[in-house]
């Protein structure tokens, strides 16, 4: 295997390891601070911080695709509302009454549920 093909493979494995680590870390942090910070505040500030960090990298692409984004603005808004805002808010509300382990286990089932629902609804 050449070094050119091993680098993307290494990056892929790194991403596969870091993704669940970040999700689990999110559950642990949520559980540890839920008594100090209200769930909706956690969700809001999480996305403000993420936007602040990612905006410089993503804004040029968003600007280039502004026409497509404008055409699909309602769909994008619906997806953002349910998949980002509601999901994280519900996760942080769950942290009030359950353990970080339970939150992480529920999060781990999401890809399976998405595939199952896609199969049931879309064939």
Query: What's the pLDDT at 4?
Result: 61
Give the mean model confidence (pLDDT) for residues 49-78. Answer: 95
18-27's contacts with Cβ under 8 Å and 24+ in sequence apart are 20/108, 23/104, 23/107, 24/100, 24/104, 24/107, 26/91, 27/91, 27/95, 27/100, 27/101, 27/103, 27/104, 27/107
Give the mean model confidence (pLDDT) for residues 70-74. Answer: 96
Q: Which residues contact 20 (CB under 8 A, 6 or more apart)?
A: 108
Query: What's the pLDDT at 64?
Result: 96
pLDDT digits (tens, 9 = 90+) for 20-43: 888 888 889 999 998 899 999 998
State how far the Cα of 38 lies from the Cα of 112, in Å rounded to an integer.
30
How many separate domains does the chain show? 1
Q: Which residues contact 31 (CB under 8 A, 6 or more apart)?
A: 95, 99, 100, 103
pTM for the whole structure = 0.72
Query: What's the pLDDT at 3?
Result: 58
| Confidence class for position 7, pLDDT limits 50, 70, 90 | confident
pLDDT digits (tens, 9 = 90+) for 73-118: 999 999 888 887 888 888 899 999 999 999 888 888 888 888 999 9
State how far the Cα of 105 lies from the Cα of 108, in Å rounded to an integer.
5
What residue numbers bound the domain in which 100 lies?
3-122
| Confidence class for position 6, pLDDT limits 50, 70, 90 | low
Query: What's the pLDDT at 76?
Result: 93
């Amino acid at each position: 295997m050449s070094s050119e093909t091993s680098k993307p493979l290494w990056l892929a494995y790194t991403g596969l390891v870091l993704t669940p680590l970040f999700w689990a870390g999110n559950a642990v942090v949520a559980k540890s601070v839920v008594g100090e910070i209200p769930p909706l505040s956690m969700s809001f500030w999480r996305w403000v911080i993420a936007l602040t960090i990612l905006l410089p990298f993503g804004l040029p692409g968003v600007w280039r695709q502004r026409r497509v984004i404008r055409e699909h603005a309602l769909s994008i808004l619906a997806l953002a509302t349910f998949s980002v805002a509601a999901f994280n808010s519900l996760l942080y509300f769950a942290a009030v009454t359950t353990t970080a382990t339970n939150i992480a286990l529920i999060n781990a089932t999401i890809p399976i549920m998405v595939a199952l629902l896609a199969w049931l609804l879309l064939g």
